Amino acid sequence: MSTTPTSLRITLLGYGSEGRAHALNLRDSGFDVTVGLRPGGPTELKARADGFAVKAPADAVKGADLVAVLTPDMVQAQLYRDVIEPNIRAGAVLLFAHGFNVHFGQITPRDDLDVVLVAPKGPGALVRREYEIGRGVPSVYAVHQDRSGRAEQHALTYCGGIGGARQNAIRTTFKEETETDLFGEQAVLCGGATRLVQLGWETLVEAGYQPEVAYYECLHELKLIVDLFYEGGVTRMHEFISETAQYGALTRGPVVVDDHAKAQMKQVLAQIQDGTFARQWIAEYQAGNAQYKALKQGDLDHPIEAVGRKLRAGMKWLDGATAAKAPAAPTPEQAVA
């Protein structure tokens, strides 16, 4: 590939929050960006309104030096088989923002391609906002396949284009990025935090306390602590909470999240590492997602949610749309729509 960095012709497949942020940042960095979307799909008009050339995915792939796959994990294998592999040119770069499909063998990239990963450690809206004010969201990058001898350079070029290289981009591997990302989601950020909040709320309500007061104590105020973590780690939290809170945290926290919890976390990690989770999730998706939908509905129907909706309606500082309803995840049909 005899291109200079900003002469790379980049095609992005997918135009959700992440895809849109990448596309806008890359264009503002001087790159030639095309968006590959299904004609007539719900995001085609949005991409065109943003001024992008929009083509059907197969046509968009044909003309690209670098193809970035920014669609949901579970549609990527079919997208690769049907659209990318038959159309991507020899010697091009194939880029992922998450290593799931490559690491777990759902995609085996063609041997002539450079295969890399660039993953900003933040959502699309933050990636765009930080870029616009001259900063960037920290990113990790990885090389899975280096056929040109310049795969790392291409990854860093893309990372720089979206603003990630303004911070200290960290080199990782597809394995490390995938397994740590899944573990964080399952054990701490989404699964762990959600269950901790729900069980704390249930404990207070079952003891006779008002559901609204329990909501404030177990869910609402969690943001205050997370913000302190985000700004300066556990050290900053200790700087800003009372001595009473510190003593209670230090003596009772390990009672709730104890060595048994850590042992369970190790089991969760082991099932990620040996592919058990990936096999279960792929089989669930292929079978129609009945269990996933039921489990998700259980979360949505938890009584803390009804209490929260009522209380958030009076929180005028919250964005109305965000307070009322979170944006829906894209369906498989919308993946490149």
154-17-38 Cα angle (round to 5): 85
Annotated binding residues for Mg(2+) = 181, 185, 217, 221
224-227-233 Cα angle (round to 5): 120
Helices (H) and strands (E) in the chain, counts: 18, 8
Written as one letter, the residue type at 9 is: R
Annotated binding residues for substrate = 242
Annotated binding residues = 38, 43, 124, 181, 185, 217, 221, 242
Closest by CA to 33, choosing from 5, 71, 64, 75, is 64
Q: Are 28 and 164 in contact (CB under 8 A)?
A: no
First to last CA, the chain: 29
Closest by CA to 102, choosing from 155, 145, 66, 153, is 145
Closest by CA to 114, choosing from 83, 82, 141, is 141
How far is residue 121's CA from residue 124's CA, in Å, rounded to a whole number? 10
Catalytic residue among 98, 103, 144, 154: 98
* DSSP string covering 18-71: HHHHHHHHHHHTT-EEEEE--TT-TTHHHHHHTT-EEE-HHHHHHT-SEEEE-S
Q: Is 98 a catalytic residue?
A: yes
From residue 35, how far is each of 97, 173, 198, 211, 283 by CA, in Å?
16, 27, 41, 47, 30
101 C-beta neighbours (distance < 10 Å), count: 24
Annotated binding residues for NADP(+) = 38, 43, 124
How far is residue 77's CA from residue 116's CA, in Å, rounded to a whole number? 16
- Token pair listed for 267: 């089991």
How far is residue 268's CA from residue 278's CA, in Å, rounded to a whole number? 12
Positions annotated as catalytic residues are 98
